[in-house]
């Protein structure tokens, strides 16, 4: 009997695993720079949390969730996105009352969506995300975008556009949706079948549907901007000015509504223009949500944040990955020429690991010169340490640098001191 991994999942190992790990470290470090504190929430939650927050009619809930009954007959879902669990944890642990505000949380977690797999789209994938809670300031929206932009800059990803829109509050959205529905009914026959089905429940999705958004009547559909009041227009303009002043380019896309129901106010997406991510181009998506905290049982507090698709970012960064990520190499490969010195070789390796924080591999059997070098290059070791009886008599070993080909005889005390 042989087994293969479930569709839409991957095994990560070797350099890919190392790049993934380095990306995780980099993201968490950049988040820390902005004073985000990491949070870990369960990989599964009660299904209602996601149904309530993302909305019954969202694709995420209606089609993509992994839902199952546990042995206690509870209906459980694997986390399809990071935000809902964080908000649940914030409310449950009363963090908005016992932590400094704004509360700034970040996460790096696996998420699960039952989607058709392709490059940049997996059934188990990872999101890095941030959430700023308890701040109504447009500066929080700005700061989230600045962080997202900073991440892409650090990773030398420059083939993307930042699209941005302002989708207002639930009441104005309801007015807009009503007008929009009436408008789309006039063009019912020109809508795709899937949009005809969406029309009653979720007409906003028609606006950012890839096929529909190319049609003239969709382009001319009533805009949310016609429903914004003066304060909202001013707030949006403030954000745009801040972005201009920071030289962050953006494109206003009035069709951008995002796929989850909880957004109000600013929404944004960093969309890749790279050939590598043709079908799955949204690298980072986020925005403001005003009612999510109260819907999950908390107080009336706003939040804003974004989620970044780790696998998509790795694809987008892959062109340049040699300049961004370190190679998964060893600092030293240590081996002895004679059986009686194997023990010393192993001890040297341990000393370097312990006192010098080096990555070291030791051979447990004595080897000939050419085998040592062959093993060292197979292991991608930067330097080779050869333990030979003659040198060892004066407490020395032979060291060869595999990159510069320099070879020297080094005193062990020196090695442990300077290396
Ligand atoms: P989202 O746009 O649904 O937003 O997902 C965020 C990112 O996760 C996407 O832009 C994409 O890069 C990545 N992603 C989504 N599905 C997949 C998949 N099947 N395979 C690989 N990557 C994927 C959210 O999830 C919101 N929680 C973001 C947010 C946080 N808004 C406010 N705070």
Atom 31 (ligand 1) nearest CA: 286
Best residue for ligand 1 mutational test, from 309, 314, 315 (most atoms within 8 Å of Cβ):
309
Q: Kindly state the percentage of the chain with pLDDT values over 90.
A: 84
pLDDT band, very low/low/confident/very high, at 415 (cuts 50, 70, 90): very high
pLDDT digits over 177-196, tens only? 999 999 999 999 999 998 99
**Average pLDDT, integer, range 374-402:** 96
| Dihedral Cα 91, 95, 96, 98, nearest 10 deg | 140
Choose between 192 and 208: higher pLDDT.
192
State the distance from the centre of ligand 1 to the C-alpha of 30, rounded, in angstroms. Answer: 19
Atom 1 (ligand 1) nearest CA: 285
Listing DSSP states for 375-397 in one string gives HHHHTTEEEEEEE-HHHHHTTEE
**Average pLDDT, integer, range 231-251:** 97
Q: 44: which strand partners? A: 78
| Whether the Cβ atoms of residue 147 and residue 155 lie closer than 8 Å to each other | no
State the distance from the centre of ligand 1 to the C-alpha of 141, rounded, in angstroms. Answer: 17
Give me the pLDDT at residue 266, please.
Answer: 97
Mean pLDDT, the chain, integer: 94
Atom 28 (ligand 1) nearest CA: 307
Residues 6+ apart with CB under 8 A from 257: 165, 167, 204, 205, 207, 208, 263, 267
Per residue in 214-226, is it b (16+ CB within 10 Å) or e — as a string?
ebeebeebbebbe
Q: Cα–Cα distance between 167 and 258 in angstroms, integer?
A: 10
pLDDT digits over 282-329, tens only? 999 999 999 999 999 999 999 999 999 999 999 999 989 889 999 888
The reported pTM is 0.92
What is the position in ligand 1's atom list of the atom closest to the CA of 122?
A: 20
pLDDT band, very low/low/confident/very high, at 270 (cuts 50, 70, 90): very high
**Average pLDDT, integer, range 22-38:** 98
Give me the pLDDT at residue 329, please.
Answer: 86
C-beta 121 within 6 A of ligand 1: yes
Best residue for ligand 1 mutational test, from 81, 302, 310 (most atoms within 8 Å of Cβ):
81
Q: Kindly state the percentage of the chain with pLDDT values over 70.
A: 100
Q: Cα–Cα distance between 228 and 238 in angstroms, integer?
A: 14
C-beta 85 within 6 A of ligand 1: no
pLDDT digits over 354-378, tens only? 988 899 999 999 999 999 999 999 9
**Average pLDDT, integer, range 11-33:** 97
Best residue for ligand 1 mutational test, from 90, 127, 132 (most atoms within 8 Å of Cβ):
127
Give me the pLDDT at residue 404, please.
Answer: 93
| Whether the Cβ atoms of residue 133 and residue 303 lie closer than 8 Å to each other | yes
Give me the pLDDT at residue 72, please.
Answer: 97
C-alpha distance from residue 260 to each of 58, 264, 334 (Å) = 6, 10, 54
């Amino acid at each position: 009997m042989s087994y293969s991994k479930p569709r839409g999942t991957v095994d990560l190992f070797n350099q890919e695993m190392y790049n993934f790990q380095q990306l995780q470290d980099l993201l968490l470090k950049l988040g820390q720079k902005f004073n985000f504190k990491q949070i870990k929430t369960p990989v599964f939650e009660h299904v209602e949390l996601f149904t309530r927050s993302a909305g019954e009619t969202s694709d995420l809930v209606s089609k993509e969730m992994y839902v199952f009954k546990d042995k206690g007959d509870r209906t459980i879902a694997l986390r399809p996105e990071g935000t809902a669990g964080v908000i649940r944890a914030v409310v449950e642990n009363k963090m908005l009352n016992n932590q400094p505000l704004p509360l700034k949380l970040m996460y790096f977690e696996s998420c699960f969506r039952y989607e058709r797999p392709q490059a940049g789209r997996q059934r188990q994938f990872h999101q890095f995300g941030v959430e700023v809670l308890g701040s109504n300031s447009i500066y929080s929206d700005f700061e989230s975008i600045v962080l997202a932009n900073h991440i892409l800059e650090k990773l030398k990803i420059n083939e993307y556009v930042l699209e941005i829109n302002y989708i207002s509050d639930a009441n104005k959205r309801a007015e807009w949706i009503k007008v929009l529905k009436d408008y789309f009914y006039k063009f019912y026959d020109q809508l795709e079948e899937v949009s005809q089905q969406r029309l009653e429940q979720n007409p906003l999705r028609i606006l950012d549907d890839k096929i529909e958004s190319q049609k003239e009547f969709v382009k001319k559909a009533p805009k949310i901007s016609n429903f914004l009041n003066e304060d909202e227009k001013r707030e949006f303009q403030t954000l745009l000015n801040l972005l201009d002043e920071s030289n962050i380019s953006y494109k206003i896309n009035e069709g951008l509504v995002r796929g989850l129901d909880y957004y109000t106010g600013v929404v944004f997406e960093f969309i890749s223009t790279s050939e590598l991510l043709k079908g799955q181009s949204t690298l980072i998506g986020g925005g403001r949500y005003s009612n999510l905290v109260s819907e999950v049982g908390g107080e009336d507090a706003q939040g804003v944040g974004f989620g970044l698709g780790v696998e998509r970012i790795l694809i987008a960064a892959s062109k340049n990955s040699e300049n961004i990520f370190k190679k998964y190499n060893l600092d030293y490969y240590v081996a002895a020429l004679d059986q009686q010195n194997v023990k010393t070789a192993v001890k040297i390796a341990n000393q370097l690991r312990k006192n010098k924080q080096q990555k070291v591999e030791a051979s447990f059997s004595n080897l000939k010169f050419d085998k040592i070098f062959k093993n060292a290059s197979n292991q991608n070791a930067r330097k080779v340490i050869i333990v030979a009886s003659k040198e060892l008599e004066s407490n020395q070993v032979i060291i060869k640098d595999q990159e510069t080909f320099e070879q020297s005889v080094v005193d062990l005390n020196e090695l442990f001191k300077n290396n």
